[in-house]
Amino acid sequence: AQSVTQLDSHVSVSEGTPVLLRCNYSSSYSPSLFWYVQHPNKGLQLLLKYTSAATLVKGINGFEAEFKKSETSFHLTKPSAHMSDAAEYFCVVSDPGAGSYQLTFGKGTKLSVIP
């Protein structure tokens, strides 16, 4: 069975400082991993995805994540936070190798950006 744990429910950073949102996963096979962002009263937007290619994945808006199998981690980073980054972020896993395309969501991390 697949699962994902987001280690922080709330992260607060100052504008212009780095962002780190932590995610650990559990998967029986070779997982696909994703980060989604949800702005208040908005839909879900895919930031980036890992599907067994390069372990360092670059996404939209300057975000990137690194797949570390030995640590079962997929942390999301950004060098410099912008006010528009304030939102809820979800780490997500699926197991297409096991024939499962359904997505299992973490509980989310709320990112606050302080001016």
Partner 1 sequence: SAVISQKPSRDICQRGTSLTIQCQVDSQVTMMFWYRQQPGQSLTLIATANQGSEATYESGFVIDKFPISRPNLTFSTLTVSNMSPEDSSIYLCSVEQGYTFGSGTRLTVV
Give residues in contact with partner 1 (CB under 8 A).
Answer: 34, 43-44, 46, 49, 90, 94, 101-108
Tell me whether residue 85 or residue 95 sits nearer to partner 1 (CB atom). Answer: 95
Please give the structure tokens belonging to residue 68.
Answer: 């570390």
Tell me whether residue 73 or residue 104 sits nearer to partner 1 (CB atom). Answer: 104
Backbone angles phi, psi at 67, to 5 degrees: -85, 120
Tell me whether residue 25 or residue 34 sits nearer to partner 1 (CB atom). Answer: 34
Q: How far is the CB of 24 from partner 1 (least distance, A)?
A: 15
